[in-house]
């Protein structure tokens, strides 16, 4: 009789262990599938949303900085040297390297200073309380990934870190186009490449975004040779500055 009781107790303990093992296994599998789903579906959408916010911040930074620079006809005359052939046709543009470095370094320094002290108070999802120099922290509601307006601001907030890292690249680009009779329109652009690192749960991504801003334009005498199809583009050397 005692042996039968012992067997019943032993079987009961075995059943409880099996139940615990089953529940733990199901929990582990559930967590694994949730993390896999998050990594495959939610993280990419969060990164895309973050890239949109970073692009908005970068545009604010660059527009603020380029607005502080002074581009006029005298600056253009010192910056570029337009070469013509015997028929008074424009065939090349040379850059005054000293003036080029002066302008690009000035722009780069302004951008680096702006990154350290940017006003992000009006940017959506920015966590101002913990954002600091060269680093922006975002808190994006998980409802954003549903693409449903009603759920947009609902759900737990996912922390995302955006750090300005590496180097800043700046150069000058000129574009010359036929403009009227025996005239050409020359446009000068500042091209800026900014490097950022986005860190979100289970993912880290390095980005390099390029921006081209028209800073000056003028009309000059001279046509572009017909074999260039009415347009000439020239790029200066890249000037690199460290953000760190």
167-209 pLDDT, tens digit per residue, is 888 888 888 888 878 888 888 888 889 988 888 777 788 888 8
Inform me whether the pLDDT recorded for 124 exceeds 80. no
Query: Is 211 or 42 the better-scoring residue by pLDDT?
Result: 211
Query: Is 71 or 224 the better-scoring residue by pLDDT?
Result: 224
Give the burial string for 97-117 (b: 16+ CB within 10 Å, else e): eebbbebbeebbebbbebbee
Distance (Å, whole) CA 52 – CA 59: 11
Report how far Cα 242 is from the mean position of its chain's Cα atoms: 16
pLDDT single digits (tens) 135-173: 888 888 777 766 666 666 777 788 888 888 878 888 888
Distance (Å, whole) CA 242 – CA 94: 27
Q: What is the pLDDT of residue 14?
A: 62
pLDDT single digits (tens) 20-70: 666 776 777 666 555 555 555 556 777 888 888 888 888 888 887 775 455
CB contact set of 120 (below 8 Å; sequence gap of 6+): 57, 126, 128, 131, 136
Inform me whether the pLDDT recorded for 226 exceeds 80. no
Place of tokens 């913990």: 130
Q: Which two tokens stand for residue 158?
A: 């996912």
Inform me whether the pLDDT recorded for 1 exceeds 50. no
Pairing of strands 90-95, 80-84: antiparallel
* Angle at CA of residue 74, ends 73 and 79, nearest 5°: 95
Q: What is the pLDDT of residue 9?
A: 52
Pairing of strands 183-200, 80-84: unpaired
Query: Is 18 or 85 the better-scoring residue by pLDDT?
Result: 85
Distance (Å, whole) CA 53 – CA 98: 36
* Angle at CA of residue 178, ends 177 and 180, nearest 5°: 140
Label residue 94 by pLDDT band (50, 70, 90): confident
Inform me whether the pLDDT recorded for 215 exceeds 70. yes
Long-range contact pairs involving 139-148 (C-beta distance under 8 Å, separation at least 24): 140/46, 140/49, 140/50, 142/42, 144/45, 144/46, 144/49, 145/41, 145/42, 145/45, 145/46
Q: What is the pLDDT of residue 67?
A: 57
Report the predicted TM-score, pTM, of the whole model to 2 decimal places. 0.70
CB contact set of 17 (below 8 Å; sequence gap of 6+): none
């Amino acid at each position: 009789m005692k042996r039968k009781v012992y067997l019943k107790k032993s079987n009961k303990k075995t059943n409880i262990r099996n139940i615990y093992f089953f529940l733990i296994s199901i929990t582990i599998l559930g967590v694994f599938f949730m993390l896999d789903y998050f990594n495959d579906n939610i993280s990419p959408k969060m990164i895309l949303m973050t890239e949109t916010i970073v692009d908005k911040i970068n545009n604010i930074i660059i527009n603020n900085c380029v607005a502080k620079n002074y581009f006029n006809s005298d600056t253009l005359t010192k910056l570029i040297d337009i070469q013509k052939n015997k028929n008074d046709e424009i065939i090349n543009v040379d850059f005054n390297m000293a003036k080029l470095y002066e302008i690009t370094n000035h722009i780069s320094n302004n951008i680096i200073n702006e990154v350290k002290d940017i006003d992000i108070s009006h940017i959506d999802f920015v966590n101002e309380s913990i954002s600091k120099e060269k680093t922006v922290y975002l808190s994006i509601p998980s409802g954003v990934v549903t693409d449903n307006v009603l759920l947009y601001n609902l759900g737990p907030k996912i922390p995302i870190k955006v750090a300005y890292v590496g180097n800043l690249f700046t150069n000058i680009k000129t574009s010359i186009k036929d403009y009227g009779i025996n005239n050409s329109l020359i446009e000068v652009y500042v091209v800026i490449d900014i490097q950022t690192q986005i860190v979100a749960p289970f993912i880290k991504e390095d980005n390099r975004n390029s921006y081209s801003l028209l800073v000056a334009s003028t009309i000059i005498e001279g046509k572009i040779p017909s074999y260039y199809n009415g347009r000439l583009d020239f790029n200066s050397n890249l000037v690199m500055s460290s953000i760190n």
